[in-house]
């Protein structure tokens, strides 16, 4: 670890089963019961699962039919994203009481750089405890916090004592912690990659540390350099309050499979109008249209088409997804989900560096 990195104080805050916890808070009859937000017994995908449902192996992004098979008593509720956004805004305002270096990752989690905080408190741990208390008082929801010297370690730490927990990884503990950490628990190492590493005899951070940069790059491509660095405690990514949005999209899972071309076109027209509203609200344009299709057998394909000019209105990008759909192979099988989005956006990269000074945690 470089000296520059060792003096940063980063907190990762992660709300506990956020969507499901909001539903249990607002509907007391759901408390203590297995809840899935999104989907239904026969269709759709789980957006979030309560801890009671997770005990049965139910996870977000899982097909609803699989969730129901794992937990026959599961209760499916419709998501209320406007409510989640309102709660998220309350939480974010609490973050800004301590620092302007807040990088939201989603509605329910964020990084905070509190090296130089607004209240002049030298302990990042005390700040994290205050934030957790304020969030609970303001929302009646719990969260977990991880505190350490960089984003990788803070993110990893926040998962250790979930739910409603806190974990500090001190600077002088970081390398020993990483060496004993199982690679499947490394943030940025997915299930498939973890299995691949296991076959190579890489089970923990120390095993990973024994592999050369060349070996990791050869076997894991661009991610190899990331793995090489994090097993040594090196993560120089700043907390970026102006995190760049890479795409804007919208999708829908249907209650029945779509197979008629006119019906598919009608549904995409509807998605297109919703996408236009989302783009206008964010004042965003893009040049690449992305069409996502998931079939009834859960096979998923994406197709893209790029224009020379900026696109922001439905009449500007509709011709591109219609051109993609001219391929008859795309609608040969029944479709359960359609998604439409824009990428290659008109957002500019901005670097945000925070000063790093003290060592006390």
Do residues 146 and 160 make contact, with C-beta atoms less than 8 angstroms apart?
A: yes
Sign for the CA dihedral angle at 161, 181, 1, 170 comes to positive
> Number of H helices and number of E strands within the chain?
14, 12
E-state strands within the chain: 10-15, 35-37, 48-49, 75-77, 102-106, 109-113, 143-148, 166-168, 247-258, 286-295, 300-311, 335-345
Q: Which residues contact 50 (CB under 8 A, 6 or more apart)?
A: 17, 20, 21, 23, 24, 30, 33, 34, 35, 36
d(CA 8, CA 355): 8
- Give the pairing type, strands 286-295 and 300-311: antiparallel
Do residues 12 and 155 make contact, with C-beta atoms less than 8 angstroms apart?
A: yes
Q: Which residues contact 277 (CB under 8 A, 6 or more apart)?
A: none
Specify whether 133 is catalytic: no
Kindly report the backbone phi and psi dihedral angles of residue 313, in degrees, each rounded to the nearest multiple of 5, phi listed first: -105, 150
Structure tokens at 351: 């670097």
Sign for the CA dihedral angle at 328, 333, 339, 344 comes to negative
Of the candidates 131, 119, 127, 231, the residue with the CA atom closest to the CA atom of residue 177: 231
Please name the residue that has the structure tokens 């394909």: 301
Structure tokens at 165: 């927990």
- CA 212 distance to own-chain centroid: 30
Catalytic residue among 23, 52, 103, 109: 109
d(CA 231, CA 174): 10
Do residues 216 and 232 make contact, with C-beta atoms less than 8 angstroms apart?
A: no
Q: How far is CA 223 from CA 9, 82, 213, 214, 233, in A?
A: 25, 36, 10, 12, 15
Q: Where in the sequence numbering do the catalytic residues fall?
A: 109
């Amino acid at each position: 670890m470089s000296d520059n990195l060792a003096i940063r104080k980063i907190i990762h805050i992660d709300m506990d089963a956020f969507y499901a916890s909001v539903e249990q808070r607002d509907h007391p009859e759901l408390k203590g019961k297995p809840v899935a937000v999104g989907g239904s017994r026969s269709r759709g995908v789980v957006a979030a699962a309560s801890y009671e449902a997770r005990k049965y192996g139910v996870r977000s992004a899982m097909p609803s039919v699989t969730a129901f098979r794992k937990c026959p008593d599961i209760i499916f509720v419709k998501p209320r994203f406007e409510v989640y956004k309102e709660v998220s805004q309350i939480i974010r305002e609490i973050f800004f009481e301590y620092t302007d270096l807040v990088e939201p990752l989603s509605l329910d989690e964020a990084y905070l750089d509190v090296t130089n905080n607004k209240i002049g408190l030298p302990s990042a741990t005390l700040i994290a405890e205050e934030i957790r208390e304020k969030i609970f008082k303001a929302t009646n929801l719990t969260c977990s916090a991880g505190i350490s010297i960089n984003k990788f370690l803070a993110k990893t730490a926040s998962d250790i004592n979930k739910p409603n927990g806190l974990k500090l990884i001190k600077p002088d503990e970081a390398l020993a912690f990483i060496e004993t950490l199982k690679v499947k628990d490394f943030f940025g190492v997915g299930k498939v990659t973890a299995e691949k590493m296991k076959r190579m005899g890489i089970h923990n951070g120390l095993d990973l540390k024994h592999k050369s940069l060349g070996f990791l790059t050869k076997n894991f491509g661009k991610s190899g350099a990331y793995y090489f660095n994090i097993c040594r405690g090196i993560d120089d990514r700043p907390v970026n309050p102006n995190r760049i949005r890479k795409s804007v999209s919208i999708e829908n899972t249907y209650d029945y499979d779509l197979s008629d071309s006119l019906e598919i076109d009608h549904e995409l027209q509807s998605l297109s109008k919703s996408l236009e509203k989302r783009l206008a609200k964010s004042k965003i344009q893009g040049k690449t249209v992305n069409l996502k299709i998931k079939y009834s057998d859960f096979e998923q394909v994406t197709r893209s088409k790029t224009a020379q000019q900026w696109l922001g209105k439905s009449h500007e990008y509709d011709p591109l997804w219609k051109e993609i759909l001219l391929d008859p192979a795309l609608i040969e099988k029944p479709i359960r989900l359609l998604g439409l989005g824009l990428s290659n956006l008109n957002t500019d990269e901005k670097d945000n560096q925070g000063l790093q000074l003290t060592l006390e945690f």
